[in-house]
């Protein structure tokens, strides 16, 4: 038995349990906030945000995220060039952290969301528990990708020593921040209950 089966939902704001009319836009009579059985247009919104994130992922990795000007030498670094730099200098743990947080995690996040969306749309009955866990991890881990953006922001603010050294954020940082924010929004737009809705169909008939 699910709340949706009875068209019951509690208000997201004030928690009042409401009897909804299916197929209609409804709002809470007490606080006036909109009430939905599921997040509205969850799959559509998630897809849109996810696609936007994917679109920004390419420039985020190709473009330099910061420009270091030191003693007249200008050097632009992309995320991967930074990883390679640390790897070459033997700082492989640092390289691993940056690679994981900045390259792998956003990528896996997008793959995970894609998988979740496709599986929900195909009404896949398989591995619902795992998929739910995947969603939780996705939502939890997403924000840590912002580390890179923070590093760039802090460095750009701190290292302004004129001719000696100047760090400026480059367009790659903007793109990368967009990727992280868009994936976070996409994860938020996704309604994990959709994973179990099919379950209900199967179970409901039994």
Partner 1 sequence: MATPDNPRDTNAVAEAVIDEEHKGFPVIWLLPLVAVLVGAWLIYKTVSETGPSITISFETAEGIQAGKTRIKYRDVEVGKVDSVNFSDDISRILLKVVMNPGTKDFLTDQTRFWVVKPRIGAGGVSGLGTLVSGAYIAMEPSQEGKPAEKFIGLEKPPVVTADVEGTSYQLRAKKLGSVSIGAPVYFRQFDVGEITEYRLSDDHSHVDIGFFVRAPHDQYIREGTRFWNAGGVNLTLSATGMQLEMESIVSLLTGGIAFETLPKHADSPAAQAGTVFTLYDNHGDILEDPITIAHTFITRYSGSVRGLAPGAPVEFRGIRLGTVKSIEIGYDPEHEGVTIPIVLIDLEPERLQNFALVDKAVSAVEIQEETLRETVKRVAYAVREKGMRARLQTGNLITGALYVDLEFFPDADPASLVMDGEYPEIPTLPNPLEGILIGFNKIIDKLEAARLEDTLSNLNELMASTNELVGTLGQNAPALASELQATIEEAHATLSSIRAMASTDGEIGNELYNALVEITAAARSIRVMSEYLERHPEALIKGKGNP
Q: Which of 43, 113, 181, 182 binds partner 1 (CB under 8 A)?
A: 182
Q: Which of 18, 107, 141, 165 binds partner 1 (CB under 8 A)?
A: 18
97 near partner 1 (CB under 8 A)? no
Contacts of 127 (CB under 8 A, 6+ apart): none
Query: Are β-strands 34-35 and 165-169 bridged in parallel, bridged antiparallel, or unpaired?
Result: unpaired
- Residue 198's Cβ-side half-sphere holds a number of Cα atoms within 13 Å equal to 13
Output 40 or 160, the one with its CB closest to partner 1.
40
Site for partner 1 in 115-144 (CB under 8 A): none
What is the C-alpha end-to-end distance of the chain, expressed in Å?
Answer: 11
The nearest distance, CB 40 to partner 1, in angstroms, is 11
The nearest distance, CB 25 to partner 1, in angstroms, is 4
- Residue 126's Cβ-side half-sphere holds a number of Cα atoms within 13 Å equal to 6
81 near partner 1 (CB under 8 A)? no
44 near partner 1 (CB under 8 A)? yes
Residues binding partner 1: number (CB under 8 A) = 43
If one counts every other C-beta atom within 10 angstroms of the C-beta of residue 128, the result is 15
Output 95 or 186, the one with its CB closest to partner 1.
186
Helix axes 193-204, 105-121, angle to 10 degrees: 30
- CA 78 from chain center: how many Å? 21
Provide the binding-site residues for partner 1, judged by CB under 8 A. Answer: 5-9, 16-22, 24-30, 34-35, 41, 44-45, 48-49, 51-53, 55-56, 58-59, 62-64, 73, 171, 174-175, 178, 182, 204
């Amino acid at each position: 038995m699910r709340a949706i089966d009875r068209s019951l939902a509690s208000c997201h704001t004030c928690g009042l349990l409401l009897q909804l009319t299916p197929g209609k836009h409804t709002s809470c009579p007490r606080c006036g906030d909109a009430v939905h059985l599921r997040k509205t247009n969850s799959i559509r919104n998630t897809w849109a945000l996810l696609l936007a994130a994917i679109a920004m992922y390419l420039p985020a990795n190709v473009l330099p995220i910061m420009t270091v000007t030191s003693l007249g030498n200008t050097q632009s670094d992309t995320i991967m060039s930074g990883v390679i730099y640390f790897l070459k200098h033997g700082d492989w743990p640092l390289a691993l952290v940056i690679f994981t947080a900045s390259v792998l995690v956003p990528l896996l996040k997008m793959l995970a969301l894609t998988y979740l969306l496709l599986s929900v749309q195909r009404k896949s009955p398989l591995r619902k528990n795992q998929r739910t866990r995947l969603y939780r991890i996705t939502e939890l881990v997403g924000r840590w990708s912002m580390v890179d953006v923070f590093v760039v922001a802090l460095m750009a603010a701190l290292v302004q020593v004129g001719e000696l050294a100047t760090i400026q954020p480059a367009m790659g940082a903007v793109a990368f921040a967009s990727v992280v924010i868009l994936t976070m929004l996409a994860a938020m737009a996704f309604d994990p209950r959709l994973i179990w809705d099919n379950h209900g169909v199967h179970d409901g008939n039994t």
